[in-house]
Amino acid sequence: MIDSVPITVLTVARPGGEVHRSLLEYIRQGGPIGAIIILISLVAIAMIGAQIFRIRRDRLAPPELTSDLRSLLNDGNIDGAINRCADQPGSCYLARVVGSGLSRASRSAFGMLELRSSVDETGQLEVDRLYRLTDGIGLIASVAPMLGLLGTVVGMVGAFDTITLADGPARPDKLAGNISQALITTVLGLIVAIPCTAMYTYLRNRIDHLTTEIDEEIEEIIAPLEATQGAEGQGA
């Protein structure tokens, strides 16, 4: 009978007394497959932390950069805007999209007429770049339960081998060890997969939400250049 189940210790009553097993002992019983699951869980934690730090509004589109670009492009200072974007850290979504879009449009024979298409194309590439770590989290969410299932199969194979190789009836404690390993790897896989799946969905939605908002600001920032180019085209 189970008397109590604390977070870190499981206490089991037996005829000879009580046996205390720590959470670490349960993890160790998962064997090599359990160790792999624990390892990829640490990788997932690092990736989630990096994405949470990376996907912030003030990091993707700093207010001072937005203000500077709006002022520079209102004055038609394209070179100044490109230089301002180049001075921004490489992880800044706004700087990479606007800076790359302006550079490509300024080198094009069509000039600023190609600005919007350049910005849209660069924006999609930057969104894909933001997705990469998040996709890694999704991969771990998919792989972890499969590793748990693999551990379950290995544990059950071990249990049947114990029955096959035993001289007479198989000892219950030997069977219990194999079956316990099978169940522990399954539990570990699910413990990793469930939060990773939740964070994968949250991070992708947050990327979509923030980049959509920033793209709307980019349209406002580049609007004066498009208006100027349109007026020049009509004048010609």
- 236 lies in a domain? no
pLDDT for 1: 36
What's this model's pTM, rounded to 2 decimal places? 0.77
Q: What is the pLDDT of residue 117?
A: 85
pLDDT on residue 171:
62
Residue 133 lies inside a defined structural domain of this protein: yes
20 within a domain of the structure (yes/no) = yes
Parent domain of 22: 2-224
- In-domain check, residue 23: yes
pLDDT value, residue 110? 66
Can you give the pLDDT at residue 138? 95
Is residue 230 one of the residues assigned to a domain? no
Q: How many C-beta neighbours within 10 Å does residue 34 have?
A: 22
pLDDT score of 3: 42
Residue 233 lies in a domain: no
Total domain count for the chain? 1
pLDDT of residue 228: 64
Residues of the chain with pLDDT under 70: 1-23, 26, 108-112, 159-178, 226-236
Residue 143 domain flag: yes
Q: Is residue 68 part of a domain?
A: yes
